[in-house]
Amino acid sequence: MLSTSDHASVVSMNLFVALLCACIVLGHLLEENRWMNESITALLIGICTGVVILLLSGGKSSHLLVFSEDLFFIYLLPPIIFNAGFQVKKKQFFKNFITIMLFGAVGTLISCCIITLGVMQAFKKMDIGSLDIGEYLAIGAIFAATDSVCTLQVLNQDETPLLYSLVFGEGVVNDATSVVLFNAIHSFDLNHIDLSTAFHFSGNLLYLFFTSTMLGVLSGLLSAYIIKKLYIGRHSTDREVALMILMAYLSYMLAELCYMSGILTVFFCGIVMSHYTWHNVTESSRVTTKHTFATLSFVAEIFIFLYVGMDALDIEKWRFVSDSPGTSIAVSSVLLGLVLAGRAAFVFPLSFLSNLAKKSPNEKISFRQQVIIWWAGLMRGAVSMALAYNQFTMSGHTQQRTNAIMITSTITVVLVSTVVFGLMTKPLIRFVLPQPKHTVSMTMEDSSTPKSITIPFLGAAQDSEVDIDGHEIHRPSSIRALLATPTHTVHRYWRKFDDAFMRPVFGGRGFVPVDPGSPTERNGHHHQWH
């Protein structure tokens, strides 16, 4: 017989799996709905379940599992971020790389500063207890973290490719920056802030970004090299798939072990794996990995929103604020207002700067697109929740009124922003951008991304001179021409380098992997290239 605690966890897991199934079925039924999306459905189901559990337990508890930052950061976030890197349209992403880094890194810092300063001014006038400078800065970092998971479900990569690559790319960099900022705030002595501390802090941030990215790239290249050299698919496609999944996860855990940003590492590992490793595995492994990564990511996303929804009704923390609901509402309203202001303070100025650097009017971010970028990044989600729990609770519990107010306010902001802003994003895009003109030219399938299995893989000769979209790139005749089309030129030189040095070593598109029992295998292994 199971002991009581084991039995309780089995019951809770049963209920969770049943709820996940319910979310998937309901999500499918609501697919055509212009308002709802999967994350909001899961969140609402979580809240309803929490209410039912509250009633059944007589108001003692509303959750089956206490929100755990470890569960979130170690098991649920990696598959979501990795799959996002694996499926992202790389050409679109790198074309806007500087803008994405501006929004993701500089924008997060601006947002964090505005929220911190606003909170310092507002909270001193409210009755919420005393907070020190470190806690104010931590609140800034917590609420500067956008929810890239919800953004993925609200924007469509094919309908609005430019917006998707900007908002989603910014979301990944933003999550990484927020977590790094949060950890840095804890490690610095904030009572003696001077210029050298600021320089040290900035240097630390740049170092972390660079090392995390490089670790992801190297992990991806290592997996490509091993799979290409050993022809693992000869004996077992399962081994290929397992190796890809485990190498990706290993890169994330290594980054966490070395105090780097696991989010950035696993994202770039996904990008490199989709460019090299994915083309080195057998046809059946390609189909399997594409769907395995997408499924893992999908289940993790729904799990997070269910979890957050159920935890929102944690009665222990709401009891602390029940005597002064006005204070709690005021704190949540101030935080929501600062989130709106903090995002507006960097989206519009940084878009203006980004547009100055772009010559072609097609590449510039229009004001309407800026409004969508501002709006789509307003949602706060599980990263904010995890950081708030880390800062204000001890293993999910708190005995202080100030901390309880901060946790309940975070939950309120997450619920309101996800449900209200999330519900209104799709209609807003339809209203502000009725028929995006750039859709036609950019929705051509990026064949270097594992999006569609049916498209024929381009040969190496076709790749090098012809752009992915099918437009031939002309050599720049002068320095002025080079400056006028820098992205195309950089892209062309990268293609040449990729074809000459990277693909012969790491494989990639055009590489023919050994299929078990195929003519390639029977003829020996000397014909590996088209």
Yes or no: is domain 6-196+304-432 CATH 1.50.10.10? Answer: no
> Which of these, 54, 30, 514, lies nearest to 309 by C-alpha position?
54
What CA–CA distances, in Å, run from 409 to 46, 317, 326, 398, 405? Answer: 18, 10, 12, 14, 6
Give the whole-number percent of the chain exceeding pLDDT 70.
78
- Residue ranges per structural domain of the chain: 6-196+304-432
Q: Count other C-beta atoms under 10 Å from residue 189's C-beta.
A: 8
The most confident of 75-79, 201-205, 431-435, by mean pLDDT: 75-79
DSSP letters, 355-387, are HHT--STTTS--HHHHHHHHHHT----HHHHHH
In this predicted structure, the answer to whether residue 435 has a pLDDT above a threshold of 80 is: no
Stretch 139-157: mean pLDDT: 79
- The residue whose two tokens read 């500067």 is 144
Chain segment 362-372, per-residue pLDDT in tens: 778 888 888 88
CB-count exposure of residue 17 (10 Å: 0-12, 13-18, 19+): exposed
pLDDT, one tens digit per residue, over 476-494 is 555 555 455 555 667 778 7
* CA atoms of 372 and 381, how far apart (whole Å): 18
pLDDT of residue 519: 41
Contact by Cβ (8 Å): 140, 115: yes
What mean pLDDT do residues 202-209 have? 83
The pLDDT value given to residue 222: 92
Looking at per-residue pLDDT, the higher value among 20 and 65 belongs to 20
pLDDT of 214 strictly over 90: yes
Q: What's the average model confidence in pLDDT over 237-265? A: 89
Tell me, letter by letter, the H, E, C secondary structure of 258-325: CCCCHHHHHHHHHHHHHHHHHHHCCHHHHHHHHHHHHHHHHHHHHHHHHHHHHHCCCHHHHHHHCCCH
Residue 450 has what pLDDT? 59
pLDDT per position as a tens digit, 321-366: 776 777 778 888 999 999 999 999 988 898 888 888 777 777 788 8
CA 112 and chain centroid, separation = 18
Give pLDDT tens digits for 21-37.
Answer: 988 888 888 777 666 77
Q: What is the pLDDT of residue 122?
A: 85
Tens digit of each residue's pLDDT (9 = 90 or more) over 90-123: 888 888 888 888 888 889 899 999 999 998 888 8
CA distances in angstroms from 7 to 2, 62, 188, 210, 306, listed in the order given? 6, 18, 44, 46, 21
pLDDT exceeds 50 at position 445:
no
pLDDT per position as a tens digit, 246-259: 999 999 999 989 88
For residue 147, what are its two tokens? 């929810």
Other CB atoms within 10 Å distance of the CB of residue 361: 8
**What average pLDDT does range 508-516 have in this prediction?**
63
Q: What is this structure's pTM? A: 0.79
How many CA within 13 A on the CB side of residue 119?
30
d(CA 158, CA 410): 33
Q: 470 versus 210: which is more confidently predicted?
A: 210
For residue 530, what are its two tokens? 């088209």
The average pLDDT across 123-148 equals 82
